Chain A
């Protein structure tokens, strides 16, 4: 065996973490402490806030009120309608815009920069503010909510989708171009099949987000179950509020499980 032994040579030393790494950690800790002092953070408030009588009013839940059709069920249906409609419209628009936003599949430089610029602005405005603006512009109701969520879906979807397209294999596209294909058919035949499973997976995820977001949007008068939540909160019916939250919790979990199951089969 000795003749097969490899002679011992000088080993390279394990590189030490750089000084900048230590400085960065110190800076983050220092900033956290500074920020906590600035906003007057008191650790005792974490305990104090649970002593508020508010929490005792969450129970018992008046289930007969919660399960009456008019109170919760109908607004919930409206929430679903808003979420489905805005997911479909938003994600449909995201398909061409997402392709324009990726270096791999953009038809030209102006389309690339324009789509990026517009989408950055759209994304900079939070969904709640879109809701508020649209309620002001087109009136209180589910219609404003559907529009707000359409914009929200589009903004989330183009981000996720265009990044997937960025990572797609460029070689089939080269083959499509070598065959003399025009831009759109080449992208459609060479790139879309590769990214479509991810696209559907993201659309399902966006639908989940929209169900949740419609709860928040109701707070600004944009229809759905959120409107009921806001009314009950404003009239201090915390027991009813808690009942709605439990139902929402169950629904979101169910949708998430279904969506995860479908997404697993897709990719």
Chain B
């Protein structure tokens, strides 16, 4: 279970990215976070795994406090949280296998990963993660030689190789075309359903959120403005989150057809 209790994040320079956010996420939930650029979506996810440090409040992951945690505790928490990035964040000059093995960093002694002497079971975990997103045939291809959709799947496989309890996806499809967007979103939905991994996805497009999400969290200017079932979302909710009425540009399918 993830609990945000009155969490605020102020960046150096004074920008307040999150303002007194409180929310609880149960195990196995799939939550979609929407909001404009700068609304605090990314900060919300990053505060959870400590890539961004919360200025005040409390964040607990299965009872472990993240805010002000020691380096060691933070590493343990992170090892249970897989993260997927908008820009994939792959090591382009090495193979898919080596990228996916990065997900095993917290599971093996430092000397093994530093010397590249991975155990057979780590490679097996990596292969299984690749199989789950259908890229196992690319295992020994250089990451840079893959298409955008395939690269994001490597990102998902890397996160899966951690055997995580939680999956964070920070605008996972913002760099992808509509077709691959649906493939990647489908992968994330399936992983949530099949493995019961609690999943938080930041999205820009509201129709995508409607299509794949169950619970929707809306952020505006760092504040929580909506938290509820996706079926409750109407045009007023949209106005609350985006500060204006809905337009075709806000919908992936309409804007793709246009």
A interface footprint on B102-122 (CB within 8 Å = 1, 0 otherwise): 110110001001101000000
- B49 to chain A: which residues have CB within 8 Å? 178
Instruction: Tell me whether A180 and B76 are in contact (CB under 8 A).
Output: yes
Known contacts A182-B110, A186-B105; is-contact A175 B92 (Cβ 8 Å): no
> In whole angstroms, how far apart are the Cα atoms of A185 and B109 in the complex?
9
The answer to whether B158 touches A189, judged by C-beta atoms less than 8 angstroms apart, is no
B114 and A185 form a contact (CB under 8 A)? yes
Q: Choose one: B80, B102, B162; the contact of A190 (CB below 8 Å).
A: B102
State the CA gap A84–B62 with chains docked (Å).
55
| B contact residues around A181 at 8 Å (CB) | 75, 102, 105-106, 113
A171 adjacent to B114 (CB under 8 Å)? no
Find chain A residues with CB under 8 A from B93 CB.
193-194, 196-197
Closest Cβ of chain A: how far from B78's Cβ, in Å? 4
Q: How far is the CB of B122 from chain A (nearest CB, A)?
A: 12
Give the size category of B's interface with A: 20 to 34
CB distance A189 to B162 under 8 Å?
no
Q: Does B90 contact A (CB under 8 A)?
A: yes
Q: Bin the interface of chain A by size.
A: 20 to 34
A179 adjacent to B51 (CB under 8 Å): no
Q: Is the beta-carbon distance between A180 and B85 smaller than 8 angstroms?
A: no
Give, as a whole number of angstroms, the nearest-CB distance from A61 to chain B: 48
Q: Are B105 and A176 in contact (CB under 8 A)?
A: yes
Measured in the bound complex, the distance between the Cα atoms of B113 and A172 in whole Å is 15
Collect the chain B residues with CB atoms within 8 Å of residue A169's CB. 92
How far does the Cβ of A38 sit from chain B's closest Cβ, in whole Å?
Answer: 51
State whether A185 touches B105 (Cβ < 8 A): yes
Q: Min CB distance, B220 to chain A, in Å?
A: 26
A-B contact pairs, 23 of them (CB 8 A): A172-B89, A172-B90, A174-B51, A175-B85, A175-B102, A176-B105, A177-B78, A179-B78, A180-B77, A180-B106, A181-B75, A181-B113, A182-B75, A182-B110, A185-B105, A186-B105, A189-B101, A189-B102, A189-B105, A189-B113, A193-B93, A194-B93, A197-B93
